[in-house]
Structure 1
């Protein structure tokens, strides 16, 4: 079975449970904390995947992790399920797929916005409203500052890049001048 199929199945199950418990945002935050913990402490995943470590010790490590990260019972059980099915290594893919499916279930669309300087509140609100009208969904802007853009903004929406940055405009002008188009 492919990683994609596995991650989609586990993510879907977690989304359904989250909808049932009205806890999608809480689940997202907890699973994100869990993924960050495994990313920071790489030996943790190796330890839990080791066939030489007895199940009782793995369970104790998971119990300590759940306590340390203050995870809910549902996420604790989910983590235990992943461990018992030898699927912990897929947690980052499951987390990405869960986030995507949870957004769909909540009618949310995440939009990447790249600007040279942070957006002012009025510009942020206007951009959100415009994109929400276009997509028919609630918009969550994920802003990234890159001074190399010089000015303007670049928006990534539904796989499309809308580029209105000064840097890109200057590159187009330079190309026109050098190629004579």
Structure 2
């Protein structure tokens, strides 16, 4: 089931509350942490999503988890509201939507850099600086490794992909040879 439209509404509401209260960064982090907890534990999901478990028991569990994680009242109340409305399954998408809104608000773009092997911190810092210069935005870089690239780097920012991998160059070379 897709929760994208529901998640956009909740994400926007949480974003607005965070902006109004000046707690946007902390709130986004807490929602992300709650989402990670929910996603990581199948047992937790089974309990929280089970309609046969009394609502009071689910709410007590959420309050305890929120207390242990030192979540703010806003985050705890958000989780309780999602549980009451049977929308906890949307939490990972809500966290994603909220992160997108925070990034837009702070003029941050997320770049995924994929290489065949490890890249040094110095290289990633230089790449980040060049991407920031090219886009005029702050860049948050995530590095992934994919040995199938053979060599080179593929960088994705939003929906733009810059493919400098040897795999792609060899594929293009092969296609050109086959056409002639």
TM-score, L = length of structure 2: 0.88
Deviations 1:103-133 (A, max 9, x none): 1111110011111233333322222122212
Change in CA separation of 1:176 and 1:84 when aligned onto 2, cut-off 3 Å: same
The alignment's C-alpha RMSD in Å is: 1.9
* Aligned residue in 1 for 2:37: 37
Note the residue ranges of structure 2 that are not aligned, 5 or more in a row. Answer: none
Shift of 1:35: 1.6
Q: What is the count of residue pairs matched by the alignment?
A: 179
* Aligned residue in 2 for 1:10: 10
Note the residue ranges of structure 1 that are not aligned, 5 or more in a row. Answer: none
Shift of 1:180: 3.3
Determine the C-alpha separation between the residues in 2 that align with 1:162 and 1:54. 51
TM-score, L = length of structure 1: 0.88
Does the residue aligned with 1:117 lie in a helix, a strand or coil? coil
Spell out the pairing of 1:80-119 with structure 2 (5 A cutoff). Answer: 80-119=80-119
Determine the C-alpha separation between the residues in 2 that align with 1:36 and 1:158. 22
Deviations 1:129-151 (A, max 9, x none): 22212222111111112233222
Does the residue aligned with 2:53 lie in a helix, a strand or coil? coil
* Aligned residue in 1 for 2:175: 175
